[in-house]
Amino acid sequence: MAALTTKEIRNVVLLGHSGSGKTSLCEAMLFSVGDIDRMGKVSDGNTVSDYDPEEIARGSSVSLSNIGFMYHDHKINILDTPGSPDFIGETMEGIRAADAAVIVVDGKAGVEVGTELAWERATKAGLPVAFFINKLDDPEADYERVYNELREKFGRKVCLTSVPAMYKDRMTYVSLAERMAFVFDEKGRRSDIEMDSDLYGIVESYLDEFNEAIATTSDELMAKFFDGEVITSAEAIEALHQAIIVGDVVPVYCGSVPNMWGVRTLVTAIKGSFPRITAKKNEKITVDEFIAEKPIEPDGDCSIFVFKTIADQYGKITMFKVMNGTLKKDMVLTNARTGAQEKAGHIYSIRGKKQSEVDALCCGDIGVMTKLNDTATNDTLCQGKVISYVGVKFPEAHMKKAVVAAAKGDEDKISTAIARILEEDPSLVYENNAETKQLTLSGMSDIHLEVVKSKMKNRYGTKVEFATPKIPYRETIRKTVQAEGKHKKQSGGSGQYGHVRITFTRGDEEGLTFTQSVVGGAVPKGFYPAVEKGLLEAMQKGVLAGYPVVNLKADLYDGSYHDVDSNEISFKLAAKLAYKNGLPQASPVLLEPVGELKVSVPENMVGDVMGDLNKRRGRVMGMNPDADRKGYTIVEAEAPYAEMMEYTIILRAMTQGRGSYTYKFIRYEEVPQSEAQKIIANAKVEDDD
């Protein structure tokens, strides 16, 4: 077979609501082109796309996979993504690598939340979009209802390209571009049939919509349409191709994966009408933290973009897209982030978990390499001038859990296992919190974290449990008090003596503000640092619940010393005694972290969100239209961190998955008395334990 060229490569990401049939459609595509002898089933765990043990166990996709296959001398790379928002990072990687998107829609359920979010993400990324209405074999499926929902939700550019109709007791399709009718056999092969007047009557109104849509691509077709002239099949096919590329038409295909209806039609459309990488002419790069555009040059210097990393106990697989030029075996490339040199020792084309070694990959193609130890997701590898492509923007991870070793001796294994998983999933955030002395892991949801937990066990033999993260409360005082601390010890030999009087008050600075107003040398200056050090150490544990004390001002105003027995340790201990005696009398209070919350929700759900925030001790500060999401409002509020720990789950349930939010720490505030009593009581229980 002759070497592929850029014009023969198609990269399509499959998006849609969970359960709409994306992975099954992948399987059907492979079956329709003869790459597999029988179709696997998601429920049986034997599909080409869902090969990860986690996917097989759960019966649904949890990670991105690439399915590359040949069709009529063209290579089609299908990027199958999870439908669940729990694994949105994988979806964003697929979108970044694709040149077009097919959103799969359940013919019975119609437009679901996942459909809306898929459209939002694909169009925001600038991808041409098509829909595939699936499961038309279901007795309750209604393509006409679903099609009208799509047009109502996403605009008049949404247009049927083939019309399914039960005609003479069999499912028949009419291609509006080809002006032909056909049926499918059990392998998805089509047979043309006569386009009689009855069939024409069924599709006449859709044909008018189709002709009107494609007529917008040229003045010549527009004139033909308004003059009532016939638009030929050749003109329609070319117009559809151009309209898809520029987004003037959002084509809708229909079918049933189990029956192979419409699958080959979609594959043919991807080959003939979907764009290649050069259709957009330029790629986005970053230059000095600004976004610029670089022309795509199939014959230029090679550069590749790493959009996904697969890491397991056997090593690391780097999945990339050739963005410019041609990648050849043994080519040496420069990592734009690290400056390190990487050699393309072995290059592979990939279909699920199957890798096929190749000598080269042309501009636009997708492949993998192994043993690129210094290369990570979002890296650019270049030949010649070093550039950096705009990377995948992962959403913030808000669902945080403390990670606890399930067995003694596994503590050291945890960090190693998580480090490998972080290579594969950059949407995770791992932290070793020195204050709370906890290892914490943040992800998209509790399900996301459970999958990580399972991978740690099955891949790396590291068993962990999740616990609720400790909240980093603080303590401070509200009153001014004077306190005395005297340390005196005499037990033979040299003794110890330190005596201080200190005024404690609330300070303006976050830490300790230490001053001295001692007169007459009651405490020698040489012992001032020891007093300050004693107070700093004491502040690590407050008198209410043992949390660090902040905003404390301490003035050393008096004391006494002994010529022989006084030393630094004595005054350090005396300062701690003064702290212990004085702070309980200074009206100590608990402080909690409070953050700035911005919630993006549909306009009709704003009231529900605001009501829920009031229950969570949140303060709504204002509302603004969301400039990035039509029909959405951003609710701005301030809310305690303690009330936000499960907010990912709450917001998803409240908005059926449509809502999103950001949360950023801004300051500490006093905890209400009723809440403070609970926190203090819990702290005492933990101390007793």
Residue 106, by phi and psi: left (phi above 0), alpha (psi -120 to 50) or beta?
A: beta
- Residue 558 backbone dihedrals phi, psi, to 5 degrees: -165, 175
pLDDT at 430 over 90: yes
pLDDT of residue 57: 85
Residue at a domain's end among 467, 488, 510: 467
Q: Percent of the chain at pLDDT above 90?
A: 70
Average pLDDT over residues 638-662: 94
Run of H or E residues at 167: strand 162-167
Write the Ramachandran bin of 514: left for phi over 0, alpha for psi from -120 to 50, otherwise beta.
beta
CATH number of the domain to which 548 belongs? 3.30.230.10
Are residues 316 and 437 located together in one domain of the fold? no
pLDDT of residue 121: 95
| CB atoms closer than 10 angstroms to residue 582 | 22
CA atoms within 13 A on the CB side of 552: 31
Average pLDDT over residues 380-392: 95
3-class DSSP state of 207 = helix
Q: What is the pLDDT of residues 120-133, one digit of tens each?
A: 999 999 999 999 99
The position carrying tokens 């002239």 is: 229
Residues 238 and 175 placed together within one structural domain of the fold: yes
**For position 288, what pLDDT does the model report?**
87
Is there a single domain that holds both residue 544 and residue 518?
A: yes
Tell me the angle at which helices 197-215 and 233-246 cross, rounded to the nearest 10 degrees: 50
**What CATH number is associated with residue 261?**
3.40.50.300
Q: What is the pLDDT of residue 624?
A: 95
| Spatial distance between the Cα atoms of 17 and 103, rounded to a whole number of angstroms | 9
The answer to whether the beta carbons of residues 56 and 45 sit under 8 Å apart is: yes
Looking at the structure, do residues 571 and 606 belong to the same domain, yes or no? no
Question: 532-572 pLDDT, tens per residue?
Answer: 999 999 999 999 999 999 999 999 999 999 888 889 999 99
431 within 8 A of 418, measured Cβ to Cβ: no
SS3 648: helix
CA distance 295 to 676: 60
Residue of 474, 485, 501, 428 whose CA lies nearest to 591: 474
69-79 mean pLDDT? 95
Residue 551 lies in a domain: yes
Provide CB contacts within 8 A for 432, sequence distance 6+: 415, 439
C-alpha–C-alpha distance, residues 323 and 209, integer Å:
37
pLDDT at 22: 95
Residue 485 lies in a domain: yes
If one counts the domains in the chain, the total is 5
φ/ψ of residue 612, rounded to 5: -70, -40
pLDDT for the residue numbered 494: 74
Mean pLDDT (whole number) for 575-581: 97
Encoded amino acid at 117, one letter:
L
Q: Which residues, 6 or more positions from 139, have their beta carbon under 8 angstroms from its beta carbon? A: none
Q: Is the per-residue pLDDT at 1 higher than 70?
A: no
CA pair distance 70, 555, nearest whole angstrom = 80
**Residue 685: what pLDDT?**
67
> For residue 485, what are the domain limits?
475-586
Measured in residues, the chain has a length of 689
CA distance 246 to 428: 35
Query: Per-residue pLDDT for 176 more than 60?
Result: yes
Give 47-66 pLDDT, tens digit per residue.
888 888 888 888 888 999 99
Residue 2: the pLDDT is 60
Contact 10, 76 (CB under 8 A): yes
pLDDT in tens, 326-345: 999 999 999 999 999 999 99
Q: Are residues 150 and 28 in the same domain?
A: yes
285 contacts 390 by C-beta, under 8 angstroms: yes
Residue 149 has pLDDT above 90, yes or no: yes
- Position 389 scores a pLDDT of 97
Whether the predicted pLDDT of 689 surpasses 80: no
Which two three-digit tokens encode residue 285?
């790069």
In a domain, 444, yes or no: yes
Last residue of a domain, one of 586, 604, 626: 586
pLDDT classification of 218: cutoffs 50, 70, 90: confident
Has residue 411 got a pLDDT over 80?
no
Half-sphere exposure of 257 (CA within 13 A, CB side): 25
Contacts with 607 (C-beta within 8 Å, 6 or more apart), sequence order: none
In this structure, how many other beta carbons lie within 10 angstroms of the beta carbon of residue 160? 26
> Do 581 and 622 fall into the same domain?
no
654 domain residue, yes or no: yes
Give me the mean pLDDT over the 296-317 stretch.
91
Look at residue 166 in the predicted model and tell me its pLDDT: 80
d(C-alpha 435, C-alpha 546), whole Å: 12
Residue burial 508-524, b: 16+ Cβ < 10 Å; e: rest = eeeebebeeebeeeebe
Q: What is the rounded average pLDDT for all residues in the chain?
A: 92
Half-sphere exposure of 684 (CA within 13 A, CB side): 8
pLDDT at 564: 83
DSSP secondary-structure letter at 644? T
Helix (H, G, I), strand (E, B) or coil at 459: helix
Residues pairing with 389 in the sheet: 285
Burial status of residue 450 (CB atoms within 10 A of its CB: 0-12, 13-18, 19 or more): middle
Name the residue with higher pLDDT: 379 or 173.
Answer: 379
Domain shared by 376 and 499, yes or no: no
Please tell me whether residues 113 and 154 are part of one structural domain: yes
Q: How many CB atoms lie within 10 A of CB 641?
A: 18
Based on the fold, state whether residues 156 and 24 are members of the same structural domain: yes
Q: Give the domain-ending residue among 414, 435, 467.
A: 467
**Does 290 map to a domain?**
yes
Reported in sequence order, the residue ranges of 246-359 that DSSP labels E, i.e. its strands, are 250-254, 282-287, 290-295, 303-312, 315-324, 327-328, 332-335, 341-343, 347-351, 354-358
20 and 54 together in one domain: yes
CA–CA distance, 154 with 250 (Å, rounded to integer): 9
One-character DSSP codes across 283-305:
EEEEETTEEEEEE--TTS--EEE
- Cα–Cα distance, 654 to 646 (Å, whole number): 12
For 38, the token pair is: 């029988």
Residue 457 belongs to domain with CATH number: 3.30.70.870
d(CA 441, CA 47): 31
- Domain assignment of residue 685, yes or no: no
User: Do residues 463 and 568 both lie within one domain?
Assistant: no
Q: Which pLDDT band, with edges at 50, 70 and 90, does 45 fall under?
A: confident
Strands 100-106 and 129-134, bridge-based pairing: parallel
Residue 646 has pLDDT above 70, yes or no: yes
Q: What CATH number should be reported for the domain holding residue 632?
A: 3.30.70.240
Residue 388 lies in a domain: no
Shared domain check, 418 and 361:
no
What's the pLDDT score for residue 686? 67
pLDDT the model gives residue 620: 96
pLDDT at 688 over 60: no
Of the listed ranges 14-23, 29-38, 211-220, 419-428, the least confidently predicted one is 211-220
Q: Please count the other Cβ atoms lying within 10 Å of the Cβ belonging to residue 461.
A: 11
Does position 314 have pLDDT exceeding 80, yes or no? no
Tell me what pLDDT residue 493 has: 66
Q: Is residue 276 part of a domain?
A: yes
- Whole-angstrom distance, CA of residue 67 vs CA of residue 70: 10
Q: What is the pLDDT of residues 185-207, one digit of tens each?
A: 888 888 888 888 888 888 888 88
Q: Cβ-count burial of 217 within 10 angstroms (0-12 exposed, 13-18 middle, 19+ buried)?
A: buried
DSSP class of residue 406? S
